[in-house]
Structure 1
Amino acid sequence: MTRSVYVTGIDRGDGRQVVELGVMELLTRQVDRVGVFRPLVHDGPDRLFELLRARYRLAQEPSSVYGMDYHEASTLQAERGTDELVSTLVDRFHRVAREYDVVLVLGTDYADTQFPDELSLNARLANEFGASVIPVVGGRRQTAESVRAETHNAFRAYDGLGCDVLAMVVNRVAREDRDEIAGRLANRLPVPCFVVPDEPALSAPTVAQVRHALGARVLLGDDSGLARDALGFVFGGAMLPNFLSALTPGCLVVTPGDRADLVVGALAAHSAGTPPIAGVLLTLDEVPGDNVLTLAARLAPGTPVLSVPGTSFPTAEQLFSLEGKLGAATPRKAETALGLFERYVDTADLLTRVSAPSSDRVTPMMFEHKLLEQARSDRRRVVLPEGTEERVLHAAEVLLRRAVCDLTLLGPVDQIRKKAADLGIDLGDAQLIDPATSELRDTFAETYASLRAHKGVTVELAHDVVSDVNYFGTLMVKEGLADGMVSGSVHSTAATIRPSFEIIKTRPDSSIVSSVFFMCLADKVLVYGDCAVNPDPDAEQLADIAVQSAATAARFGVEPRIAMLSYSTGTSGSGADVDKVREATELVRARRPDLKIEGPIQYDAAVEPSVAATKLPGSEVAGQATVLIFPDLNTGNNTYKAVQRSAGAIAVGPVLQGLRKPVNDLSRGALVQDIVNTVAITAIQAQTPAPAEQVPVPSEKKAPVQ
């Protein structure tokens, strides 16, 4: 039977979209096929569903999501009664429920409706759907006592109407009252009660939303600038010195278009980061001259400058009525919302209460969710040497908003801040360090000189070397100032991992450093090794790669069943290449008899049960391998790229293994989500050291750097 979760409320303005998004995140961690149903819908776009569809790659037809619009529902209720309305909605719900393992139901919104008792309608629908209920209570602009009373009343209302209440969520309470309210509600209800504070960034409109609402013209700015949140409004009329002192971080400056001094002053302040602003809105349909606009574009590239025909007063009235909305067009708000939900809601407890049926499949999305959740469970600090790179900054914002790990960004601090301001990125509590001017440089120079004295490295030479961001970041990891490092979005593999060979070095139980990719296919995750580091490993090194890869797979929830790949299966072929794989397989069996391994074996026999039944009947690996070890770099690198491009797989990696502490390399074509995933993996690697192998192997053989 399909399990359903019904998120509802008791009035308008509770911000329950945060809860609906958070619950969807929980469900998609556990289940592959999650459906969405909204019983009643207003005319116009459904921003939340569009966000869910884009973020969670939902294949559900939009027409199946909605029961009926409010007008149709009120007419049906008036003409044929509530029972007929409910019966119709139940029929339409079950059309969705038949197709999915779990359905998230989005309750009515109490906005401009004709239903006299909307709470009772939501309760009855939840009962008829067989859905458990999560009521949301809005606490904005309420005292702690009134929130407590309203939460108790809401629970009694839904419980008294026969609903299976999973948990209560109190949302949008004043941040300073959050702990007091949580204390007043703790253990006072039969179900858990989670209290979530108000977050100004969620209710702040983006500059793009301001543009749309006011019908403004865009004079300057790019998509990144338009995506910034307008956290406040500063109206310019004063002389420049007084005006500058009134600016606040993230504000939208509103000024008559003939005040070129205020336009240039605001953008100059943004460029200096004192403070970064969201943009400038010009009124009176006045536009500065081309020379001023050219200067403005150079001062703050990408920062929006908009123009409207109205005067400042009616413009202000419109601005103050605007409120930000979660939607597909505001992905950064979604990250903020999820970070808020995951911080203040005990997601593990809630997921247990939902008791959604676990899926045997591991989809790419489920794997990514688990990465972030595992990294968040024991937060570590990861250093990102490429602090001025745009993709790294966007990834850093996601990681910080989702509270995945702590971050240190390296590079000229003023450049990092300016770049972040230009992109509208809030780096929050991230640590910013410039290796060239850091007080750690002298200490690191002495450490590096000591490590490389046998190569003739002096302190003076080391002083220059450690100013390199990758060397500096690697030394931070060695000295325990960071738990791991991720680089490579603009640096070569050699530049990224050579410092780790010199400074961190291989584990005593590893002969080489190798790598794996997590290949996220439509219905499972496979581990490919080694596709990035070792060109032509010998049998002993190949065995080491297999053992390392099995340990990495197990750490990330993939049960290791190792296939040692070759162009021949079993005893059907011979030759130096096949013999190398056969020898490596026997070495693994001798060193780790607990591991399931087969080799030599061809790829099709490793992953396809029908082929395995013919070529290697009875094998406990053939047809169901999860860790695939390639005989050389040429084969591995080409195979992972072929599968990535042809099968649409998501390739997460390369993830380095065999180092004493985690350092990971990015592809120079890495997307923001690739960087997020790799940082999460690095944080997880830092949480618990990889289990040592049972039999040590010689450590003098080192992997060549590519």
Structure 2
Amino acid sequence: MKTILLVPTGEGVGLTSACLGFIYALECQGIKSGFLKPFSQEYDVTTDRTTALYQHLTQSDNVVEPIAYTQLIQQFNQGESDELLEQVVHMHRQIAKSHDFIIVEGLLPNARDSFASSLNASLAQALDAKVVFVSNANIRQAKCSAEKVETQLRHFGGAASERTAGVLFMRTRGLPEGTAEIPVTLDPSLRLNKEIAAFSQEIQKTHAHIGSAQLPIIGMVPFSDSLSVPRVSDLAQQIRASWINVGKAEKRRVLHSSLISSNIEYELNKFVAGELIISASDRIDVLLASSLACSNGIPLAGLILTEHHQPSAQILDFCQPAIKNGLPILHTTLSTFETAQQLAQLSNEIPIDDIERATQVTRFVSSHIDLDWLTQLVNGQYTARLSPSAFRHEFVQKSIAAKKRIVLPEGDEPRTIQAAAICQSRGIAQCILLAKPEAVLEIAKARNIELPADLEIIDPDLIRAEYVAKMVELRKGKLNEAQADEQLQDTVVLGTMMLALDQVDGLVSGAVHTTANTVRPAFQLIKTAPDYSLVSSVFFMLLPDEVYVYGDCAINPDPDAAQLAEIAIQSADSAKAFGIDPRIAMISYSTGSSGTGADVDKVREATEIAKQRRPDLLIDGPLQYDAASVESVGRSKAPDSEVAGRANVFIFPDLNTGNTTYKAVQRAANVVSVGPMLQGLNKPVNDLSRGALVDDIVFTIALTAIQAEQQKTA
């Protein structure tokens, strides 16, 4: 069991973010990491913020709440520090039952809790923990940054101590522009190795041990304005405001704020995406301008009206379009200046319920941690597993290495545009948007999406004619030029033709189209691979501890036994391609020979066919879902099976069962699902859910790029 104690040098260093970043970095190394905050330092808090965020992000059931601050003070003042530490060791052992590695959050040294530093040292000893110091830094103030670390280092026996492992600088200021990019997943290219080396040299002029091999700087995390942005819903309490319209306050983030004081004609440049408009409530022109901006597709963060009274109902009637579009509107009796002052004092800490921001911060911090250092600390003593984080990380990295061109027929769809910009900037794929360039630029401007210079946008009207004759040739005898021209008006068909002619490597669609719209052209123009007779699909289900593969949940309504066997083989090969060693369960309502009937007989026959075709695969069926997935049930119902209780590839007997099961698991267990990924085609085409998030589209593009590379290699 390895334990890292993160010791802060003071308040406001980003300790919560550092803890979550370490946990995510370990997850991406395949290490199941737990979290422990031994002591609370807040009065009357029933739910600890860091612990709650950890539980939300990892979906771990094995968490313990910290010892309450009142109990800490009482026992410490009574000289019961040993008893306190015994309780902490007990908490640590509870978490160790199901984790290979534990990150422990130390106490914040402050003017009130003078015992914090000495208690941190005792914690490190009691838990046999390695210590990482967490501090903020300014590149231009090396000596000052080092002195903060030095103050805490003394409590642990100095840099020569075997316990001290490194320094993590958070919220670092003074770095060059462009160093605060937000990664989609763990991105080693963001680590500031050169800057760390230069800063270490500067520090060592006064503190020779900091930045040395004895006490390395294991990461330097830039201060990021974009990761410090609150939601509009986080502002109300700070400015003692009431809601005129809550709208999308839980989703809208405050990128900037503007006080509107002069004539509206001189202030219109402030009405941009992510802007929080602050104005006196008698400025009806500001209210109407905000409403007009929202009606024009500009997602303002929100509107705060100050002083006086709330606007009349008659005025608000004019703003109904903005209200219906979700514009958050607040009213406070504070003056405009007082409101701005209060907002400037808003804490940078992540609220418990802001999972989106917590996720981004976690990835950002983990991308700046030295994984070579982390690997040495782990020392190869842990059994690697394909966690969801490792799965996402691996396939994003594989897609970057593949360097594939992916066409996106829904090129003017906002989520698709944002996903394409992310993929292009991160090198996940070379994306081609099929859309009018002016439409893409307008949407990007309205939504504050920065389009990379090398992102391809192709006007379908300019290229459609060159595909007519080629499509007639591909579908010889089935359509004429007029029919081909008509079908090519559909950008999905046009994109599929580009794929058929090897002008792109893959296609992703479905954000606004149905599965049939996406798949039908692929059936007609791409067709099935030589070894297969059908096209099927899989979902990668990212459960908290493991990735499962579900097939077929999107394509084949009622496959016969031979088709079901082929789906199992396709799904096993897909699992292997993404780093999962397949153990395949053929799912039915009956396990083994206990049940009879046409449905269970079909699954039994399919299992035998699959075993004959692929004796190299671990496959068993029919198995009930619980017998396939729960070890104790598997041992009871199928004691001789190598798959029962250990399955990670689940093949459902029909589309009704598969689609219902994947959606039930996804929604009830709050599980992320990646897919559907189509398998069996000559070239990769993948379908999105119409409710897909931007991240879903990014991962599907990455997945498609990897498929293209695998087919090329094969």
How do residues 242-281 of structure 1 correspond to structure 2 at under 5 angstroms?
242-246=266-270, 249-269=273-293, 271-272=295-296, 277-281=300-304
Is 1:18 the counterpart of 2:41? The answer is no
- Specify whether residues 230 and 626 from structure 1 end up closer, same or farther in structure 2 by C-alpha distance, changes over 3 A only: closer
Given that residues 396 and 699 in structure 2 are in contact (C-alpha distance below 8 angstroms), is that contact kept between their aligned partners in structure 1?
no
1:599 CA displacement: 6.0
Which residue number in structure 2 is paired with residue 139 of structure 1? 137
Which residue number in structure 1 is paired with residue 124 of structure 2? 126
Bigger Cα displacement from structure 2, 178-187 vs 93-102? 178-187
- Specify whether residues 367 and 691 from structure 1 end up closer, same or farther in structure 2 by C-alpha distance, changes over 3 A only: farther
- Specify whether residues 450 and 496 from structure 1 end up closer, same or farther in structure 2 by C-alpha distance, changes over 3 A only: same
Which residue number in structure 1 is paired with residue 205 of structure 2? none
Given that residues 15 and 105 in structure 2 are in contact (C-alpha distance below 8 angstroms), is that contact kept between their aligned partners in structure 1?
no
Cα offsets for 1:588-627 (capped at 9, x unmatched) = 4555443334467777776677887798775545664443
> Secondary structure of the equivalent of 2:678?
strand
- 1: CA distance, partners of 2:87 / 2:601: 62
1:130 CA displacement: 1.4
Given that residues 133 and 167 in structure 1 are in contact (C-alpha distance below 8 angstroms), is that contact kept between their aligned partners in structure 2?
yes
| Residue number among 501, 505, 519 corresponding to 2:523 in the alignment | 501
Cα offsets for 1:214-266 (capped at 9, x unmatched) = 0122223513x453232222221222232123556533222222222233334
1:213 CA displacement: 0.5
Which residue number in structure 1 is paired with residue 255 of structure 2? 231
What amino acid is aligned across from residue 285 of structure 1 in structure 2?
H
| TM-score in terms of structure 2 length | 0.78
- 2: CA distance, partners of 1:426 / 1:417: 9
- 2: CA distance, partners of 1:185 / 1:530: 53
What amino acid is aligned across from residue 235 of structure 1 in structure 2?
L
Given that residues 10 and 108 in structure 2 are in contact (C-alpha distance below 8 angstroms), is that contact kept between their aligned partners in structure 1?
yes
- Specify whether residues 587 and 36 from structure 1 end up closer, same or farther in structure 2 by C-alpha distance, changes over 3 A only: same
Which residue number in structure 1 is paired with residue 237 of structure 2? 212
Given that residues 662 and 685 in structure 1 are in contact (C-alpha distance below 8 angstroms), is that contact kept between their aligned partners in structure 2?
yes
- 2: CA distance, partners of 1:342 / 1:406: 25
Is 1:199 the counterpart of 2:224? The answer is yes
Given that residues 205 and 325 in structure 1 are in contact (C-alpha distance below 8 angstroms), is that contact kept between their aligned partners in structure 2?
no
1:575 CA displacement: 9.6
Which residue number in structure 1 is paired with residue 362 of structure 2? 338
> Secondary structure of the equivalent of 2:238?
helix
What amino acid is aligned across from residue 283 of structure 1 in structure 2?
T
What amino acid is aligned across from residue 524 of structure 2 in structure 1?
E
| Residue number among 361, 364, 370 corresponding to 2:391 in the alignment | 370
- Specify whether residues 599 and 16 from structure 1 end up closer, same or farther in structure 2 by C-alpha distance, changes over 3 A only: closer
Cα offsets for 1:416-459 (capped at 9, x unmatched) = 7888899x78577599888766655555666645544543242x
1:494 CA displacement: 1.0
- 2: CA distance, partners of 1:159 / 1:378: 46
Cα offsets for 1:142-187 (capped at 9, x unmatched) = 5164477458847965571735344432222234176563231479
> Secondary structure of the equivalent of 2:10?
coil
Bigger Cα displacement from structure 2, 4-13 vs 679-688? 679-688
Given that residues 256 and 286 in structure 1 are in contact (C-alpha distance below 8 angstroms), is that contact kept between their aligned partners in structure 2?
no
- 2: CA distance, partners of 1:330 / 1:201: 14
- 2: CA distance, partners of 1:164 / 1:265: 59
1:199 CA displacement: 0.7
- Specify whether residues 287 and 610 from structure 1 end up closer, same or farther in structure 2 by C-alpha distance, changes over 3 A only: closer
> Secondary structure of the equivalent of 1:98?
helix
Extract unaligned runs of 5+ from structure 2. 180-191, 202-210
| Residue number among 556, 576, 591 corresponding to 1:554 in the alignment | 576
Extract unaligned runs of 5+ from structure 1. 693-706
| TM-score in terms of structure 1 length | 0.78
Bigger Cα displacement from structure 2, 513-522 vs 34-43? 513-522
Counting matched residue pairs gives 675
> Secondary structure of the equivalent of 1:506?
coil
Q: Give RMSD over aligned pairs.
A: 4.7
Cα offsets for 1:380-432 (capped at 9, x unmatched) = 6766656777887998899899997776776678887888899x785775998
1:337 CA displacement: 0.9
Which residue number in structure 1 is paired with residue 112 of structure 2? 113
- 1: CA distance, partners of 2:626 / 2:341: 66
Which residue number in structure 2 is paired with residue 99 of structure 1? 94
What amino acid is aligned across from residue 260 of structure 2 in structure 1?
G
How do residues 110-509 of structure 1 correspond to structure 2 at under 5 angstroms?
110-115=109-114, 118-140=116-138, 142-143=139-140, 145-146=142-143, 149=146, 153=150, 157=154, 160=158, 162=161, 164-174=163-173, 175-176=175-176, 181-185=195-199, 188-190=211-213, 191=216, 193-223=218-248, 225-246=249-270, 249-269=273-293, 271-272=295-296, 277-299=300-322, 301-347=325-371, 350=374, 353-354=377-378, 358=382, 366-367=387-388, 369-376=390-397, 378-379=399-400, 439-442=462-465, 448=471, 451-452=474-475, 454-458=477-481, 461-474=483-496, 484-488=506-510, 490-509=512-531
1:16 CA displacement: 3.0
> Secondary structure of the equivalent of 2:340?
helix
> Secondary structure of the equivalent of 1:139?
strand
- 2: CA distance, partners of 1:626 / 1:253: 51
- 2: CA distance, partners of 1:210 / 1:24: 29
Which residue number in structure 2 is paired with residue 6 of structure 1? 5
> Secondary structure of the equivalent of 2:538?
strand
Given that residues 233 and 254 in structure 1 are in contact (C-alpha distance below 8 angstroms), is that contact kept between their aligned partners in structure 2?
yes
Which residue number in structure 1 is paired with residue 187 of structure 2? none
